[in-house]
Amino acid sequence: MEDLKRDRDLLDTDINKAGSNNKHQEEALIQKKELMLEKTNEINAIKKEIDKKNKKINTLEKEKEKYGMTAAKANAKYFHSLEEIKLKDNLISEF
């Protein structure tokens, strides 16, 4: 009879320890899920920021191309005008 009581007490102790361990594991699991959700939200925010920056980069590249073409046209016009001036100077100097 004493052995049965001792066995029952040991089993109760083991059950209490197991219940305590389960509780700690559940709390740890909840914390990890919350952390995972937080990190997922951070990742999504970073992805949105990356998309925004990529759109800005594309816009700036288009502007760069546009202004590059404008500058090239202005340079061509400048050198054409310079050639015209040289030709006119040569004509004037011939007379």
Q: What per-residue string of b and e applies to 27-46 under the rule 16 or more CB within 10 Å gives b?
A: eeeeeeeeeeeeeeeeeeee
Res 61: pLDDT = 98
Res 14: pLDDT = 83
Res 9: pLDDT = 83
Alpha-carbon span 82 to 77, nearest angstrom:
8
pTM higher than 0.75 for the full model? no
How far lies 56's CA from each of 21, 50, 65, 78, 94, in Å? Answer: 52, 10, 14, 32, 56
Res 62: pLDDT = 97
Residue 56: its H or E element: helix 2-94
Tens digit of pLDDT at every position of the chain (95 positions): 888 888 888 888 888 888 899 999 999 999 999 999 999 999 999 999 999 999 999 999 999 999 999 999 999 999 999 999 999 988 888 76
Res 91: pLDDT = 85
